[in-house]
Amino acid sequence: MSAKIIDGKAIAAEIREELKKEVEEMKEQHGVVPGLVTILVGQNPASVSYVTAKQKTAHELGFYSVQDDQPEDIPEDELLNLIDKYNNDPKIHGILVQLPLPKHINEKKVINAIDPDKDVDCFHPVNLGRLVIGGEETRFLPCTPAGIQELIVRSGFETSGAEVVVVGRSNIVGKPIAIMMMQKGPGANATVTVVHTRTKDLASHCKRADILIVAAGVPGLVKPEWIKPGACVIDVGVNRVGEKKSEKTGRMIPILKGDVDFDAAKEIAGAITPVPGGVGPMTITMLMKNTVRAAQYAIGK
Ligand code: NAD
Contact 231, 211 (CB under 8 A): yes
The reply to whether ligand 1 has any atom less than 6 angstroms from the CB of 239 is yes
**Residue 183 annotated to the active site:** no
The reply to whether ligand 1 has any atom less than 6 angstroms from the CB of 216 is yes
The reply to whether ligand 1 has any atom less than 6 angstroms from the CB of 187 is no
**DSSP one-letter code for 276:** S
Q: At what angle do helices 280-300 and 45-60 cross, to 10 degrees?
A: 50
The reply to whether ligand 1 has any atom less than 6 angstroms from the CB of 143 is no
Which residue's alpha carbon is at the smallest distance from atom 21 of ligand 1? 196
Pairwise CA distance, residues 103 & 107, whole Å: 9
Report how far ligand 1's centroid is from the alpha carbon of 202 (Å).
15
Report how far ligand 1's centroid is from the alpha carbon of 220 (Å).
12
| Average pLDDT for runs of 10 along the chain of length 301 | 94 98 97 98 94 97 98 98 98 98 98 98 98 96 98 97 98 98 97 98 98 98 97 97 92 94 97 97 98 96 72
Which residue among the candidates 7, 117, 119, 121 is catalytic per the annotation? 121
Contact 107, 99 (CB under 8 A): yes
Count the Cβ atoms, other than its own, within 10 Å of residue 136. 7
- 30 three-state secondary structure: helix
Q: At what angle do helices 174-182 and 125-133 cross, to 10 degrees?
A: 30
Report how far ligand 1's centroid is from the alpha carbon of 139 (Å).
25
Surface-to-core class of residue 42, CB atoms within 10 Å of its CB (0-12 exposed, 13-18 middle, 19+ buried): middle
The reply to whether ligand 1 has any atom less than 6 angstroms from the CB of 174 is yes
Pairwise CA distance, residues 195 & 133, whole Å: 22
Pairwise CA distance, residues 158 & 229, whole Å: 16
pLDDT score of 276: 94
Pocket test for ligand 1, best of 173, 175, 223 (most atoms within 8 A of CB): 173
Amino acid at site 3: A
| Selection from 296, 295, 298 nearest residue 64 by Cα | 295
Per DSSP, which regions of 123-257 are E strands? 163-167, 191-195, 211-214, 232-235, 239-245, 252-257
CA separation, residue 275 to residues 4, 111, 134 (Å)? 14, 29, 30
pLDDT score of 186: 96
pLDDT score of 1: 66
The reply to whether ligand 1 has any atom less than 6 angstroms from the CB of 193 is no
pLDDT score of 12: 98
| Selection from 167, 247, 176, 265 nearest residue 212 by Cα | 167
pLDDT score of 301: 72
Phi, psi of 89 (to 5 degrees): -95, 110
Alpha-carbon dihedral sign for residues 24, 30, 33, 36: negative
Pocket test for ligand 1, best of 236, 239, 286 (most atoms within 8 A of CB): 236
**Residue 98 annotated to the active site:** yes
**DSSP one-letter code for 61:** T
Report how far ligand 1's centroid is from the alpha carbon of 35 (Å).
30
Pairwise CA distance, residues 17 & 285, whole Å: 10
